[in-house]
Amino acid sequence: MRIERAGSADIRDLARLRWVDRSADPATDRALAAFEGDLSAWWDSHRETHFAFVARSDDATVVGAAWVALVHRTPSPGTGPRLSADIQSVFVMPEHRDAGLGSALIDAARRHALDSGATRITVHSSERAVPVYTRLGFRGSATLLQYIAEK
């Protein structure tokens, strides 16, 4: 297994993984192709701020992915530019879980954020993944709050 930064050639695999992660319905070829187009268009307009990493099996099949979003923060006096990051959409195919791929994907996203100058990295985790993030140095905060809009 290896972790790599994803590129345009990976968009179909990124779409497939996102579909498996977020939809209860199996993807038809037509539906997956439509979502692939949507994801590709979205990523084209967010390439300066959103970066994806993929986990490839020994036969080069993409079996996991993680995204990291870089967010420029309002400067404060004496600090200059500030950058935060948010790790998003970490997913590993169920048959490849519990082998360290999630940790490796998170670490790749975290390293990219830090190398880009981020001084804070957030994540909204599933309950199952909280121990992974904790093991990798993430901590909870009573002052980092969220507001969820009603649909």
100-126 pLDDT, tens digit each:
999 999 999 999 999 999 999 999 999
Q: Give the per-residue pLDDT at 63.
A: 98
Q: Give the per-residue pLDDT at 25.
A: 85
Q: Give the per-residue pLDDT at 112.
A: 99
pTM: 0.92
pLDDT for 146 beyond 90: no
Instruction: Identify the CA nearest to 53 among candidates 124, 102, 99, 93.
Output: 102
Q: Give the per-residue pLDDT at 79.
A: 84
Count of other CB atoms within 10 angstroms of residue 53: 24
Tell me the pLDDT tens digit for each residue of 20-56. 999 888 888 999 999 999 999 999 999 999 999 999 9
Of how many residues is the chain composed?
151
Let me know if 65 is exposed, middle or buried by CB neighbors in 10 A (0-12, 13-18, 19+).
buried
The structure tokens listed for 143 are 């002052």
The residue ranges of every structural domain in the chain are: 2-135
Q: Cβ(24)–Cβ(40) under 8 Å?
A: no
Q: What is the CATH number of domain 2-135?
A: 3.40.630.30
